[in-house]
Amino acid sequence: MNRDWANIRKDFPILNDTSHVYLDSAATSQKPQSVINAITKYYTNQNANIHRGIYSLSEEATMLYIASKEATASFINASSYRSIIYTRNATEGLNMSALLLENELEEGDEIVTTVMEHHSNLIPWMKLAQRKKCKITYVKVNEIGEIDMEEFKNSLNSKTKIVAFSHISNVLGTINPIDDICQIAKRNGAYIVIDGAQAVGHIPVDVGKYDCDFYAFSSHKMFGPTGLGVLYIKEELLDRFDPIFYGGEMVSHVALDEFKYNELPWKFEAGTPHIAGGIALHAAIIYLQEIGIENIEKRNLQLLQILQTQLQDLPYIKMYGTSPQKSSVVSFTMDGVHSHDIASLLDRDHICIRAGNHCAEPLVHSLSCNSLARVSLHIYNNEEDIQKLLISLKNIYHKLKNG
């Protein structure tokens, strides 16, 4: 569908009901009315536990939950919904990946990741490496914010068992060369874990093409609700792993001395899941598909270029992450002004941006900074939002500079 971008904001009630200029979509996206409606409708008309009741209300809820899994699988080109595990968020999915891979590691094995990772894709590997006495190698990022691919290749060896990296950096916006990284890691026989938190809902994602083993992301960054994440695991691996959590839903038979795992993917989802969340994520996917992910990618690129061009004209602003392969995230510093002050002063003009280390402290320090201001755009932003930001940034600088 060809969208009239000027009218897109009407789909997001929060942008109509408040005066906020929302420029923090990398933290969480706003929600379209259709997603809000799906949650309300579920609790108003469809609420029942899934898989359990032999009555039509429960059957309907079960059907809706499975339809959500099917939609998610097809959205990222997974071969089947059996590969789609719903989690609380991307962080839980990445932790699960590390726990599931624990038995695949022996002392002295190696894990390769990068300096640009979010803490959610760092700490689980640091803890795993501690527990299993493994080494972690961190691939550096070059001056424009890209992974150094030569260094990446050189960091792999026969002991490398896991390669874990982000599809898109939440600080630099860099879109990593995922096909190349996956091919190289596969040739080396390593498991591939991808943190797709900033990618899904922004650019096309194709886990089938990447041939990765794990791909984790969060519903709330792709117009869906909070409290729900997705962990894709390649189907042929799923029988190899025992689940992390045990209890109801994940078993098909229990006696006091034995139990049998449920079918996939339910084996990995113990307890009552976030049913409303799953159904609402389906609504978010339908919304994304109606607009078209390629159109979303193009629109966000257009907004990014406008923002970057305008910021380039301000000599007191330094941007970090200038790769040509970039999503609509811009991190920057302002001469002599702390990023927390920038964010607080922008808030007085109702402009929402994020400041700090963005849960990527090693990366921010590697850029010789303690804190960065970050603007992240999505399709509901427009040139007017960017103009308001620019006017406020200029005012902040001149006011603080002139004391």
Ligand X SMILES: Cc1ncc(COP(=O)(O)O)c(C=O)c1O
- Choose, by CB under 6 A, the member of 197, 207, 222, 379 that binds ligand X: 197
* Beta carbons of 164 and 101 less than 8 angstroms apart: no
Which of residues 122 and 288 has its CB atom nearest to ligand X in the complex? 122
Give yes or no: 369 in active site.
no
Q: What does the alpha-carbon distance between residue 303 and residue 375 come to, in Å, rounded to a whole number?
A: 11
| H/E run at residue 209 | helix 207-210
* Beta carbons of 294 and 2 less than 8 angstroms apart: no
* Beta carbons of 370 and 362 less than 8 angstroms apart: no
**Which residue out of 182, 212, 359, 369 is catalytically annotated?**
359
Tokens, residue 124: 């689980």
x/- mask, ligand X, residues 121-160, rule CB under 6 A, reads x---------------------------------------
With binding defined as CB under 6 A, does residue 120 bind ligand X? yes
With contacts defined by CB under 6 A, how many residues of the chain interact with ligand X? Answer: 12
- Choose, by CB under 6 A, the member of 29, 114, 188, 218 that binds ligand X: 218
With binding defined as CB under 6 A, does residue 328 bind ligand X? no
Helix, strand, coil % in the chain, rounded to nearest 5: 45, 20, 35
With binding defined as CB under 6 A, does residue 195 bind ligand X? yes
The stretch near ligand X (CB under 6 A) out of 61-69, 115-123, 283-291, 375-383 is 115-123
With binding defined as CB under 6 A, does residue 193 bind ligand X? no
| H/E run at residue 376 | strand 372-376
Which of residues 30 and 89 has its CB atom nearest to ligand X in the complex? 89
Q: How far is the CB of 199 from ligand X (least distance, A)?
A: 8
The stretch near ligand X (CB under 6 A) out of 89-97, 253-261, 262-270, 331-339 is 89-97
Q: How far is the CB of 316 from ligand X (least distance, A)?
A: 27
Q: How far is the CB of 174 from ligand X (least distance, A)?
A: 11
Query: End-to-end distance of the chain based on CA atoms, in angstroms?
Result: 51
213-236 CB burial, b ≥16 within 10 A, e <16? bbbbbbbbbbbbbeebbbbbbbee
With binding defined as CB under 6 A, does residue 91 bind ligand X? yes
Q: How far is the CB of 218 from ligand X (least distance, A)?
A: 3
224 phi/psi in degrees, rounded to 5: -95, -175
Within 317-366, strands assigned E span: 317-320, 329-334, 351-352, 354-356
- DSSP line for 154-196: HH--TTEEEEEEESB-TTT-BB--HHHHHHHHHHTT-EEEEE-
The stretch near ligand X (CB under 6 A) out of 83-91, 150-158, 258-266, 335-343 is 83-91
- Choose, by CB under 6 A, the member of 89, 95, 339, 376 that binds ligand X: 89
The stretch near ligand X (CB under 6 A) out of 39-47, 84-92, 236-244, 287-295 is 84-92
Which of residues 29 and 120 has its CB atom nearest to ligand X in the complex? 120
Q: What does the alpha-carbon distance between residue 95 and residue 101 come to, in Å, rounded to a whole number?
A: 10
Which of residues 29 and 121 has its CB atom nearest to ligand X in the complex? 121
177-193 CB burial, b ≥16 within 10 A, e <16? ebeebbebbbebebbbb
Task: Give the residue numbers marked as catalytic.
Answer: 359
**Can you give the binding site for ligand X, defined by CB under 6 A?**
89-91, 118, 120-121, 166, 170, 195, 197-198, 218
